[in-house]
């Protein structure tokens, strides 16, 4: 085992910046389409119009990613394309991008007619062959009322107050207003109002648009909600709170980072193995309990059929000859061995031999010997009493998944069908670990090198060295954070909050690797900013 290295906080922060970016203040993008209205005239020249449309959309998307609003124009004359997109003011940037991505898929449904508009519940998008940016009123403006009636007698009055307040507030607030008005005399009910003018519309246009919208919405009462779909603005009221938490305080991400800095500074010793990093936070009581258990276990194993003699394993691997080395995991080097009866085995020679680490060793033996599934590597036994701690597994000739998907020639042997089967196998194995009621297990270190393939290329999850059963810590809060950086769920990394979701996050990263064939954090630039999660996120945008 390599010497423990203390990793500077800054590295952790960089990792968090990367991992948390897609999760930053993510609430509800409200990306349901509410109304799509298309033009009625056919476009003039399809070829040119289409290419102009695509250019406009690309330009707008780039603006959306930074300012949640965008206008662009491409071409001239008949074939010109003007576009506008905006997210409503209560959406975070991330939610905005998600909503906009949906709008971008919907609007082209208007093809081959000139222009169209789409109102989603979180954003708006419009395209025409003329400049409409300052328009705030039009013949299609209308309100759509909810079909449920609000019985509360005070509701009508409160809704009116909320709508009028929004009309008054929005023009002086960049076109945006959100209101919550309590319904008097009825306990705890409220009316929620959202008003949003397109940023290209003038303040007076905004006011006129919202006045029309609010008047239309008042016509909806006593319906429990309604939406006004106007040329220059959108307005909505409801008795249910559809608004996102106020964004822009910007502190939620900051808080996570701060928490981690404190956590890291206070307790963490970061240990870097060859390819793995993990840090542990020792909890003495559990450690002690584990030691007691370990001694008991050692006795049981000594007497059980699980026990292999050290000398037998030494012989089987030709004294751990380098030529027999199969690979290296987080906890030890794995060698191929042949038993006297001809059976092939894999022997894991654990890095640690001191008593302290032995607890982990017994833990692993304990857990693995009790679970059996076609997609989990089978533990045959161990050598517990010899000079070294050894684990004996079934031998899998095809090594681990990373040898295939990251190798340009071997990758060709894995077509989509085979990859799909591998994915299904991994998922089935993981579901078994998570839902097997006897010993629910969170693997904690799902990654390509921990997925072995049998002779039929069937996936088998290996390396339970980091696993702990739920039983050990019923609070679901782990006492040790372990895993491989880049595969670890942000909430796990930040708070040590350990649930099955941590494995699901790692699985997600692994799936991206299986599909793309490129390794997380190992891109050409060998730059952390190129983590596969971020890469995919950028492509998604
Ligand atoms: C549309 O524009 C393309 C490119 O300028 C041109 O080749 C094509 O003839 C035009 N089609 C019509 C119907 O005008
Ligand atoms: C978008 O279009 C404007 C002109 O309409 C141009 O100045 C700007 O560079 C474009 N931005 C992008 C990202 O293409
Ligand atoms: C927009 O397209 C329609 C249909 O091709 C055409 O009749 C109209 O003149 C165009 N408008 C402008 C401003 O070019
Ligand atoms: C969308 O709004 C238009 C009016 O602008 C209306 O004619 C159409 O029926 C609406 N579509 C749906 C699906 O509600
Ligand atoms: C009311 O609207 C909801 C969705 O807006 C719809 O699912 C439901 O069928 C409607 N109910 C009636 C009675 O129209
Ligand atoms: C307050 O709201 C809760 C949950 O929405 C509801 O169960 C409760 O009945 C309400 N109280 C009154 C006095 O309306
Ligand atoms: C809002 O404007 C539209 C379009 O000009 C018009 O048809 C409608 O009657 C107006 N609504 C109200 C309540 O003034």
**CB of 60 sitting under 6 A from ligand 2:** no
Orientation of helix 500-516 relative to helix 532-540, angle to 10°: 70
pLDDT of residue 294: 52
Strand (E) or helix (H) holding 429: helix 416-435
Strands laid side by side in the 332-338 sheet:
325-328, 332-338, 344-350, 390-394, 379-383
36, 37, 109: which to mutate for ligand 4, most atoms within 8 A of CB?
Answer: 37
39, 49, 130: which to mutate for ligand 3, most atoms within 8 A of CB?
Answer: 130
Give the C-alpha separation, 494 to 261, whole Å. Answer: 9
Per the listing, tokens 């954070």 go with 481
- Number of Cβ within a 10 Å radius of residue 54: 13
Give the C-alpha separation, 261 to 253, whole Å. Answer: 13
pLDDT of residue 493: 64
Ligand 4, atom 8, lies closest to the CA of: 37
Give the C-alpha separation, 468 to 385, whole Å. Answer: 23
Strand (E) or helix (H) holding 19: helix 9-20
Ligand 2, atom 1, lies closest to the CA of: 59
Structure pTM? 0.59
* Proximal ligand: closest to the CA of 70: 2
Give the C-alpha separation, 325 to 320, whole Å. Answer: 8
Ligand 4, atom 14, lies closest to the CA of: 35
Contact 439, 370 (CB under 8 A): yes
According to DSSP, residue 61 is labeled: H
Q: Are strands 116-120 and 81-87 parallel, antiparallel or unpaired?
A: unpaired
Distance 32 CA to ligand 5 centre (A): 15
**From the alpha carbon of 218, which atom of ligand 7 is closest?**
13
Strands (E) across 398-458 are located at 441-442, 451-453
Beta-bridged to residue 196, according to DSSP, are: 176, 234
Contact 211, 171 (CB under 8 A): no
Active site residues: 445
pLDDT of residue 174: 93
**CB of 133 sitting under 6 A from ligand 2:** no
Averaged pLDDT, groups of 10, the chain, 541 residues long = 34 38 62 91 86 91 92 91 96 87 87 91 95 95 94 92 96 95 82 97 96 97 95 96 72 38 30 27 41 56 69 90 82 86 87 57 67 86 76 87 90 92 94 79 85 92 60 38 64 67 88 88 51 77 66
Helix (H, G, I), strand (E, B) or coil at 135: coil
* Proximal ligand: closest to the CA of 214: 7
pLDDT of residue 47: 85
**CB of 50 sitting under 6 A from ligand 1:** no
**CB of 31 sitting under 6 A from ligand 7:** no
pLDDT of residue 192: 96
Report whether 2 belongs to an annotated binding site. no
52, 72, 131: which to mutate for ligand 2, most atoms within 8 A of CB?
Answer: 72
Torsion angle, alpha carbons of 314, 318, 323, 325, to 10: -20
Closest CA to 311 of 320, 301, 299: 320
**CB of 43 sitting under 6 A from ligand 2:** no
Distance 146 CA to ligand 5 centre (A): 8
Strand (E) or helix (H) holding 435: helix 416-435
**CB of 23 sitting under 6 A from ligand 4:** no
**CB of 44 sitting under 6 A from ligand 3:** yes
- Number of Cβ within a 10 Å radius of residue 437: 5
Distance 76 CA to ligand 3 centre (A): 11
């Amino acid at each position: 085992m390599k010497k423990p290295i203390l990793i500077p906080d800054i590295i952790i922060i960089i990792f968090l910046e990367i991992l948390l970016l897609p999760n930053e203040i993510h609430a509800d993008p409200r990306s349901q389409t509410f109304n799509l209205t298309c033009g009625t005239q056919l476009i003039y020249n399809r070829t040119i119009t289409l290419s102009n449309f695509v250019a406009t959309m690309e330009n707008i998307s780039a603006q959306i990613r930074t300012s949640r609003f965008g206008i662009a124009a491409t071409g001239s004359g008949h074939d010109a394309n003007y576009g506008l997109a905006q997210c409503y003011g209560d959406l975070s940037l991330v939610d905005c991008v998600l909503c906009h991505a949906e709008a971008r898929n919907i609007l082209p449904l208007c093809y081959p007619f000139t222009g169209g508009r789409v109102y989603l519940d979180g954003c708006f998008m419009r395209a025409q062959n003329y400049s409409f940016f300052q328009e705030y009123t039009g013949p299609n403006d209308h309100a759509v009322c909810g079909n449920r009636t609000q019985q509360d007698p005070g509701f009508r009055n409160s809704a009116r107050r909320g709508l009028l307040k929004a009309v008054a507030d929005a023009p002086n607030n960049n076109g945006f207003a959100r209101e919550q008005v309590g319904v008097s005399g009825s306990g705890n009910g409220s009316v929620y109002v959202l008003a949003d003018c397109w940023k290209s519309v003038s303040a007076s246009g905004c006011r006129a648009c919202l006045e029309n919208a609010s008047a239309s919405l008042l016509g909806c009462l006593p319906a429990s909600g309604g939406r006004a779909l106007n040329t220059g603005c959108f307005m909505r009221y409801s008795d249910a709170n559809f608004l996102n938490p106020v964004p822009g305080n910007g502190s939620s991400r900051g808080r996570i980072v701060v928490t981690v800095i404190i956590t890291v500074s206070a307790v963490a010793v970061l240990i870097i193995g060859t390819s793995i990093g993990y840090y542990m936070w020792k909890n003495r009581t559990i450690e002690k309990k584990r030691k007691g258990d370990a001694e008991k276990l050692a006795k049981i194993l000594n007497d059980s059929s699980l026990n292999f003699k050290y000398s037998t394993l030494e012989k089987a691997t030709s004294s751990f000859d380098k030529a027999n080395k199969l690979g290296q995991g987080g906890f030890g080097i794995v060698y191929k061995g042949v038993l006297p009866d001809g059976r092939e085995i894999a022997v894991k020679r654990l890095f640690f031999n001191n008593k302290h680490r032995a607890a982990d060793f017994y833990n692993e033996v304990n857990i693995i010997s009790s679970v059996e599934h076609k997609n989990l590597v089978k533990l045959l036994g161990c050598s517990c009493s010899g000079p070294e701690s050894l684990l004996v597994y079934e031998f899998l000739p095809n090594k681990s998944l990373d040898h295939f998907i990251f190798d340009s020639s071997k990758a060709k042997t894995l077509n989509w069908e085979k990859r799909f089967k591998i994915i299904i196998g991994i998922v089935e194995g993981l579901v078994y670990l998570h839902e097997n009621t006897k010993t629910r297990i969170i693997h904690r270190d799902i990654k390509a090198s921990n997925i072995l393939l049998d002779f039929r290329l069937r996936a088998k999850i290996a390396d339970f060295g980091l696993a702990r059963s739920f039983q050990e810590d019923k609070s679901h809060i782990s006492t040790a954070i372990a895993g491989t950086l880049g595969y670890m769920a942000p909430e796990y990394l930040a708070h040590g909050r350990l649930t099955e979701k941590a494995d699901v996050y790692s699985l997600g990263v692994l799936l991206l690797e299986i599909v793309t064939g490129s390794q997380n954090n190992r891109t050409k630039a060998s730059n952390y900013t190129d983590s596969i999660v971020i890469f995919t996120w950028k492509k998604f945008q």
